[in-house]
Amino acid sequence: MSRVILAGGRELDATTPAGRALARCGSVAVVTVAAAFRRPDALHSQIKAWAQNLSLEHAVSRERRSDSVAVDYSVVSAVRRSDALDPEVYGPIAECDGVLVLDGSPAHFVSAVMATPLLDAIVAARQRGADVVWSGAAAAAVCASMVDDRGGALTVGLGLHDGIVVAAGWEGWPRDRRRRLWRMVPDRLLFMALESGAAVCSTAEPEVLASSSSPDDWTVLGGAVEARRGGTAVTLEHWRRPTP
């Protein structure tokens, strides 16, 4: 079963659970829309370094066998909405078994990808079995109610997941903004607050996950995660490596 991974940021740091979430994938499409305001040369250097570090993890995990392979990556360099409409830009998503959607500006991300072929391509990748990581701003944006990091209010997101609300980079939120956000989240929704580098992974089928608010449908890959529903703290299970 393919996985949806929601990350709190630091997705290009291969030492974090967020950065290692796609370590089992051989080919990854890196979607840059939310990171449009970062310097392209610096961003591409970071992506290259991340892929190289992940390739080293492949080698270590496979005991440095001669058949170990590097992580192949393609950068989906979408900056504006017109890019999200261009088949030549989003085309590489169809060829990959993992998709990494970078952190950045949630408002820009939603305005650029809502109801576009690029977003459809990411959803289709998940449906055909690819793992998809939504990090930081993107993790917040996939919810129907999106956390706007500029003021901590709820606004309209992409609506891929109706039963959850996600806040990323939680360690940087002042206490008063945290409390204000807690009060805004409807009791029926599952609220997940992820510190930078943390990640949670889906355990349910896509048709269930789209509307689920159950804590049982998510597991913590690592890092600090706080979850609440109905004003009460709830516990998410921690992922355990399958026994051989």
What is the residue-wise DSSP string for the chain? ---EEEE-S-TT-TTSHHHHTTTT-SEEEEE-GGGTTS-HHHHHHHHHHHHHHHHHHHHHHTTT-TT--PPEEEEE---SHHHHT-HHHHGGGGG-SEEEE--S-HHHHHHHHTTSHHHHHHHHHHHTT-EEEEETHHHHHTBSEEE-TTTS-EEE---SBSSEEEEESGGGS-HHHHHHHHHHS-TTSEEEEE-TT-EEEE-S-HHHHTT---GGGEEEEES-EEEEETTEEE-PEEP-PPP-
* pTM (whole model) above 0.85: yes
Average pLDDT over every residue of 100-117: 96
What's the topology of domain 4-237? Rossmann fold (3.40.50)
Q: What is the pLDDT of residue 206?
A: 87
Q: What is the pLDDT of residue 175?
A: 92
Residue environment code for 62-77, b if the CB has 16+ CB neighbours within 10 A, otherwise e? eeeeeeeeebebbbbb
- At residue 60, does pLDDT exceed 60? no
- At residue 63, does pLDDT exceed 70? no
> Distance between alpha carbon 137 and the CA centroid of its chain, in Å?
8
- At residue 4, does pLDDT exceed 70? yes
212 vs 205: CA distance, rounded Å: 10
Average pLDDT over every residue of 113-118: 98
Q: Give the residue carrying structure tokens 């289709």.
A: 124
Instruction: Write out pLDDT tens, residues 143-196.
Output: 999 998 777 789 999 999 999 999 999 999 999 999 999 999 999 999 999 999
